[in-house]
Amino acid sequence: MKRFLFLAPIVAFVAVLVAFFAGLGRDPSTLPSVYLGKPLPAFAAPPLRPGDIGLTNEDLDRGEPVLLNAFASWCGPCRYEHPVFLKLRREGVAIHGLNWKDRPEDGQRWLAERGDPYIRLGSDPTGRTGIELGVAGVPETFVIDKRGRVRYRHVGAVTPEVWDQKIGPLMAKLRAES
Amino acid sequence: MRRILLVAASLALLAGPAAAVNPDEQLADPALEARAHKISKDLRCVVCQNQSIDDSDAALARDLRIILRERITAGDTDEQAVGFIVQRYGSFVQLKPPLRADTIALWFGPLAVLLLGALGAFAYMRARAPQRAAALTADEEAEAARLLKTDGAD
């Protein structure tokens, strides 16, 4: 036993190396939301679409799992996920939107040019509503369960791959929950 | 071409770490502004994560600096103002992590490694120390005394 004690520092070094190497692959920008497992705080965003009613936290607690997507017309990756949301909406997935740190006229033009996948849609030109929700940038997408609790937050574009591998299966699971 | 590059490089070196706080964000009251400045230096910008919101030029950092100043003007203590941001973005934004159950390894991990190393070094050095000679038996004691006595005659 004692003869192999000299190996202990080497074993410890290798363990640290493995831990650090595993950490290298993790993206520090994708932090879990502080609201994970909890409902989002109360908020009310004014409408972006003329004559609409805007978006409040109560829209996220209607007994069905929903997506809440923060987007902006100036955001590059939002262009990639927009067609995905249009397709999902046609397939019956409930999606709400928050137009974050964007001028309302720019947000309206974005929807007019590219189509509108959102059921409820709030305008947040100052970004204050997004900050209440812990939004650090766009695009960000919250996955909310039947009881209005945040179950996942995706930072970055919801590409077809992200939907197929992560959010789609999660939504199916949330729909099956009682 | 090379000279231009050199000049450009030396000019780039001149760019100091200027604070990103814009004059229009600053509070009129110097005491409140000093507090806001101090707090914001210890809050991480979630956009460019190795900068504080005091240093960062990100739009969100600017928003958070303004919110921080609003809170302080409204009468928040430093802890309440920091708590407002932490509540929304998580403890990750605290550049000086608080001592909690899940941060014990962060705070005392290096100390534990140092102690382990000291323990290892102590054990190693003890094992290498020369063996102390065994005590003499009674016969040997007597022999030694006799020899010393003979030698001590002169």
B78-130 confidence digits (pLDDT tens): 999 999 999 999 988 999 888 888 888 889 999 998 998 899 899 888 888 77
Long-range Cβ contacts of B126-129 (<8 Å, 24+ apart): none
Q: Which tokens hold the place of A127?
A: 């970004």
The number of residues making up chain B comes to 154
Q: Which tokens hold the place of A97?
A: 């939107």
State yes or no: cis peptide before A9, omega within 30 of 0. Answer: no
> Is A34 close to B120, i.e. CB distance below 8 A?
no
User: In terms of CA atoms, which chain B residue is nearest residue A7?
Assistant: B120
User: In terms of CA atoms, which chain A residue is nearest residue B48?
Assistant: A29
On whether the CB atoms of residues B71 and B87 are closer than 8 A, the answer is no
B45: chain A residues, CB-CB within 8 Å: none
In chain A, the percentage of residues whose pLDDT exceeds 70 is: 98
Helix (H) or strand (E) holding B144: helix B138-151
Could you tell me the residue ranges of all domains in chain A?
34-176
User: Average pLDDT of A97-114?
Assistant: 96
- CA dist B61 and A29 (Å) reads 15
On whether the CB atoms of residues A47 and A121 are closer than 8 A, the answer is yes
CATH number for the region A34-176 comes to 3.40.30.10
The yes/no answer to whether this complex scores an ipTM above 0.90 is no
- A56 burial level (CB within 10 Å; 0-12, 13-18, 19+): middle
Q: Residues 5 to 64 of A: which have CB under 8 A from any B CB?
A: 8-9, 28-29, 31-32, 34
Could you tell me the residue ranges of all domains in chain B?
16-98, 99-130
Quick one: B16-98 is in which CATH superfamily? Cytochrome C biogenesis protein (1.10.8.640)
- Which residues of chain B approach chain A closer than 8 Å at the C-beta? 46-47, 49, 59-60, 63-64, 67, 87-90, 92, 120
Best CA proximity match to A130, nearest among A100, A167, A175 = A100
On whether the CB atoms of residues B53 and B45 are closer than 8 A, the answer is yes
pLDDT at A73 over 90: yes
User: In terms of CA atoms, which chain B residue is nearest residue A126?
Assistant: B63
pLDDT digits (tens, 9 = 90+) for B62-73: 999 999 999 999
